[in-house]
């Protein structure tokens, strides 16, 4: 859906998306310590669909969810699900710090793909923002030098998938409501994950259900807020904001799991913030600069 560009609204919705992703990471850590990863993903999608159902009904019901771009909905969610699978598999092969550093090449792929397929402009401010963000991530995680193993290639593939997914979401926001995008995301990913989830299914213990509900809600809200952010700004502007998840994740690790924050985290966070401020400070694009469907 075409909307008046607004940096403030884009930043607001992106902040809610980041908060949802961070909450989901905590809930995911609790649930995956007990259940199979694919079972967690399936429960997240199915329960998330029921959570969003009242909003769907209030937005015109199932009739309003009909779309003339179903191929793009399906393609986007297949790509995103593959990215999730690759990310989770890489987590079993390489340290989390290395995984995060490679994953945050996603804004690079998003920017390149948005320029190539959405006609967005790669300005010097955006290039500087991406470079500062990447340097900040590298400073924080300090990936060890050495030969590339399959885990690095898997998470690199996941980052490319996430970049493709974000560009597809941006394209969908030109004609589709955010509720419709999330509605089909939950349906398609529920279908994709059913077989791998059932393969090693086990009944969740009662005390785990609150965490399952939290991961279901945030799994839905994170993407809904991201889609809303993309309504108000270009993908190349939105993507670098996601770098904030790295220092904020370090803060959560310190608060909840007693993980130490050192000088590298502080310096890296400063670089990431500088990059985001540079990106947000640029002149907002005029409405005619945003391509319409």
Each residue's pLDDT, cut to its tens digit, for the chain (293 residues) gives 456 777 788 889 988 988 998 888 788 778 877 888 789 889 988 998 999 899 899 988 999 999 888 999 999 999 998 888 787 777 667 666 566 667 777 777 777 777 777 666 777 777 787 788 778 777 766 665 555 567 777 888 888 898 888 888 878 878 888 889 889 988 999 999 899 899 888 999 999 999 999 988 988 888 788 878 877 877 667 767 777 777 777 777 777 767 666 677 677 767 776 776 666 555 444 433 333 22
Start-end of H helices in the chain? 7-32, 37-58, 61-64, 70-91, 96-103, 106-113, 124-141, 150-172, 178-199, 209-232, 235-238, 245-257, 263-281
Give the pair of three-digit tokens for residue 87.
Answer: 């990310």
User: What contacts 38, CB < 8 A, 6 or more positions away?
Assistant: 193, 196, 197, 199, 200
Which sequence spans correspond to the domains of the chain?
7-289
Rounded distance between C-alpha atoms, residue 199 and residue 42, angstroms: 12
Q: How far apart are the first and last CA of the chain?
A: 9
Kindly report the pTM of this predicted structure. 0.70
Distance, CA of 267 to CA of 270 (rounded, Å)? 5
Contact 174, 181 (CB under 8 A): no
pLDDT, tens only, 248-263 = 777 777 777 676 666 7
What's the pLDDT at 287? Answer: 38
């Amino acid at each position: 859906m075409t909307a008046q560009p607004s940096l403030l609204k884009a930043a607001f919705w992106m902040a809610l998306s980041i908060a949802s992703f961070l909450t989901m990471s905590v809930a995911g850590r609790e649930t995956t310590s007990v259940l199979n990863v694919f079972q967690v993903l399936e429960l997240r999608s199915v329960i998330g669909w029921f959570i969003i159902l009242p909003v769907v009904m209030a937005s015109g019901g199932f009739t309003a969810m009909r779309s003339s771009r179903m191929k793009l909905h399906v393609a986007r969610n297949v790509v995103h699900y593959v990215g999730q699978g690759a990310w989770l598999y890489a987590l079993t092969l390489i340290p989390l710090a290395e995984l995060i550093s490679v994953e945050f090449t996603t804004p690079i792929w998003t920017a390149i793909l948005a320029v190539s397929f959405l006609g967005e402009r790669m300005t010097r401010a955006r290039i500087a923002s991406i470079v500062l963000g990447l340097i900040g991530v590298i400073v924080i995680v300090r990936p060890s030098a050495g030969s590339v193993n399959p885990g690095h290639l898997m998470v690199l593939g996941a980052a490319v998938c996430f970049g493709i997914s974000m560009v597809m979401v941006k394209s969908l926001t030109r004609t589709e409501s955010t509720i419709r995008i999330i509605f089909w995301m939950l349906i398609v990913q529920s279908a994709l994950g059913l077989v791998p989830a059932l393969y090693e299914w086990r009944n969740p213990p009662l005390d785990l259900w609150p965490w399952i509900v939290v991961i279901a809600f945030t799994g839905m809200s994170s993407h809904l807020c991201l889609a809303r952010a993309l309504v108000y700004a270009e993908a190349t502007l939105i993507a670098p904001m996601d770098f904030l998840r790295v220092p904020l994740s370090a803060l959560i690790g310190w608060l909840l799991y007693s993980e130490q924050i050192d000088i590298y985290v502080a310096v890296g966070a400063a670089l990431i913030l500088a990059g985001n401020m540079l990106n947000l400070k640029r002149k907002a694009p005029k409405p005619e600069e945003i391509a319409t469907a």
